[in-house]
Structure 1
Amino acid sequence: MDIREYQLSDIPAILEISRRTWGGYDQLPYELDELIANPNSFLYVIEYKGRIVAFANLNVIDGGKTGWLEHMRVHFRYRKRGFAWAMTQHLLAEAEARNLNRVRLTTAIENEATRQIATQIGMHQVLQMKLFWKGNYRGIRWKDDSVPIRACNSDEAYDFLNANPDLTTDGIVVYYWHAFDLTRELFSSLSNKFRFWRTEETGQGGALAFGYSQIFHDAPMWASTIYALDVPSFYSALSHQLQVAKEEQAEGMLCFHSPPFQAGGEIPGLKRGTFASSLVLFEKRRPFLSLQK
């Protein structure tokens, strides 16, 4: 078994593994070009008997503080043979060598294999965010504009979360399947592709929403995050995001939101055909290699 940095000749094998992951719905093929173009991203493969059987990526974020463990994939014929564990140990060694302060990863709460590995290497759960995926949402007639929503810029978005620290666990911001430290620089960088909205300032409650359109299996998808202080603001922000998704002509909507709220609830059209889950964020601080399997 040889663990090494990827080569361009490995790309077909990486894509083949990805196509057989998550029932064929792996998003990685649509993100691979951006991933390998990122100078802070380090993609590794496992070569076993002349074949690429696994890969994973270490992304250095938060100004060099955090090693983001992502895109762990093992060929379906080679699972449960220890390749995921070997790759995880390699990523931890790389994080140690780069003097990173911590490593983090996110996964769906149903992903027991990843959660088990995270626990085995000494990671602890930092936070959960609820999420839902809804296709065929355009027929939803429900609308809630009880709390006015307006567009805002990245500075206003940062200021809203910074002024309401209870909304973010340890100052960590979640969007899509990512988690970053809350900084003004982060929101400035997000403004390249994200749009931001917040409720009007009333002195009570409030919500922030931000999202962007991306391609998911050759079709546009709207991905958004909602942080809300109260139920009316949450539902108004959610209603607005559904409308934005329609305006963007997205085929589906993926929404991450604060744990206290229910996206389905009594909303007509969101009760059925909606996949609901939770994102779980794990973290481990140095030293990274203190535990063994």
Structure 2
Amino acid sequence: MKTIRKLNKDDFEDILEISKSIWEGHDYVPEVFVEWIENPLSHVFGIEIDGKVVSIANLRIIDQGKTGWMEGLRVHVDYRGKGLANEITDYLVEQAKKLDLDRLRYTTASRNVESLSIAQRVGLVQLFRLGIFWNSDISEIDIEDDTEKVKLIDATSLHSLIDRVPIKENIIIQDWKAVDATLAGLHSLEEKNRFWISINDIVNLSIGGIRKEASGLYWSFTIYVKSWSDLKSHLNFHIQEAKKRDFDSIVCTYPIEFQERLQSYDWFNEQERNTEVIMLEKKL
């Protein structure tokens, strides 16, 4: 028998089983599943077949009740090709309407053809793209540039400058998550991240925090700049920050216009060439 229901902590073993085949066992969902369950703003649903959870997705309410953030869509490897991803996505859309949300949003990788197909089918449209890369041995990265002008700033002070930051659609993405660039949104980001800026004719911004995966911890950061020199300053700053914190690995999200120049470095992972984060939205 097949049912769709809200999940609970007792479903954790099934979630581990699903995640074993995701990103070669590096899936982040097991690290955040209990946090989702305990969060009153998260609505974690699963498809159960014959007593076993075989698909999962979370609908998290953000932006002061305006946005339904869709995340963690997974289907057990043995149950793929049966339409379960479409089924649970449709269910999340209906739940979002019942919750009277203004919109649905989520991010996905440009190479995730299945995810993009599901998004198109339910009416999500692309807002913009950012580049992204991983590196699991930052000792090999050496980018010489001035980092002294990169300074820590708190959410409240940043909000007074946000109109000068080169973000798109008034949305800030950090570690695959997105929030509106409001004071409340910045404060929500600040719970697990920190902000750094440098100022010239614009306000250049980078956001950094810890990413938990089954394989270990990453220093994850996003850079919002307009010039190559400012990108190098913030990139070098975060590489140094990661080393200070004893991280071996980083995830960097950055403006897509610098993709070709970043990919010219010899430390760039060829398997990640042209990988992008796509921001998607559906108005309700």
Tell me the CA shift for residue 149 of structure 1: 1.6
Tell me, in whole angstroms, the C-alpha distance in 1 between the residues paired with 2:109 and 2:102.
24
Tell me, in whole angstroms, the C-alpha distance in 1 between the residues paired with 2:178 and 2:184.
14
| Alignment CA distance shift 1:15-1:271 (3 Å) | closer
| Alignment CA distance shift 1:266-1:77 (3 Å) | closer
| Alignment CA distance shift 1:163-1:251 (3 Å) | same
Tell me the CA shift for residue 265 of structure 1: 4.7
| Alignment CA distance shift 1:146-1:28 (3 Å) | closer
Tell me, in whole angstroms, the C-alpha distance in 2 between the residues paired with 1:178 and 1:114.
16
Specify the alignment match of 1:15 in structure 2: 16
Mapping of 1:144-183 within 5 angstroms? 144-145=145-146, 148-164=149-165, 167-183=166-182
Structure 1 consecutive aligned stretches of length 4 or more whose deviation exceeds 4 Å: none
Specify the alignment match of 1:225 in structure 2: 222
| Structure 2 counterpart of 1:285, one-letter code | K
Mapping of 1:123-138 within 5 angstroms? 123-138=124-139
* Alignment TM-score, normalising by the size of structure 2: 0.92
Tell me the CA shift for residue 272 of structure 1: 4.7
Q: Percent identity?
A: 30
Structure 1, unpaired ranges of 5+: 287-293
Contact 1:134 1:274 survives alignment (8 Å):
no
Q: Indicate the SS of the match to 1:250.
A: coil
Q: Which sits farther off after the overlay, 77-86 or 147-156?
A: 147-156
Contact 2:135 2:268 survives alignment (8 Å):
no
Specify the alignment match of 2:206 in structure 1: 209
Deviation by residue 1:119-158 (Cα, 9 ceiling, x = unmatched): 0111111111111101111132332117722222223333
Q: Indicate the SS of the match to 2:246.
A: coil
Q: Which sits farther off after the overlay, 109-118 or 181-190?
A: 181-190
Q: Indicate the SS of the match to 2:120.
A: helix
Question: Are residue 197 (structure 1) and residue 192 (structure 2) matched?
Answer: no
| Alignment CA distance shift 1:125-1:188 (3 Å) | same
| Structure 1 counterpart of 2:108, one-letter code | T
| Alignment CA distance shift 1:77-1:153 (3 Å) | same
Contact 1:5 1:44 survives alignment (8 Å):
yes
Tell me, in whole angstroms, the C-alpha distance in 2 between the residues paired with 1:191 and 1:102.
23
Q: 2:253 aligns with which of 248, 256, 259?
A: 256
| Structure 2 counterpart of 1:150, one-letter code | K
Contact 2:110 2:277 survives alignment (8 Å):
yes
Tell me the CA shift for residue 266 of structure 1: 5.0
| Structure 2 counterpart of 1:193, one-letter code | K
Contact 1:209 1:227 survives alignment (8 Å):
yes
Tell me, in whole angstroms, the C-alpha distance in 2 between the residues paired with 1:174 and 1:156.
19
Tell me, in whole angstroms, the C-alpha distance in 1 between the residues paired with 2:202 and 2:267.
24
| Structure 1 counterpart of 2:236, one-letter code | S
Specify the alignment match of 2:28 in structure 1: 27
Mapping of 1:46-195 within 5 angstroms? 46-145=47-146, 148-164=149-165, 167-195=166-194
Contact 2:225 2:231 survives alignment (8 Å):
yes
Contact 1:42 1:58 survives alignment (8 Å):
yes
Root-mean-square deviation (CA, aligned residues, Å) is 1.9
| Alignment CA distance shift 1:51-1:274 (3 Å) | closer
Q: Which sits farther off after the overlay, 136-145 or 80-89?
A: 136-145
Tell me, in whole angstroms, the C-alpha distance in 1 between the residues paired with 2:56 and 2:279.
21
Q: Which sits farther off after the overlay, 141-150 or 106-115?
A: 141-150
Contact 2:70 2:106 survives alignment (8 Å):
yes
Contact 1:175 1:224 survives alignment (8 Å):
yes
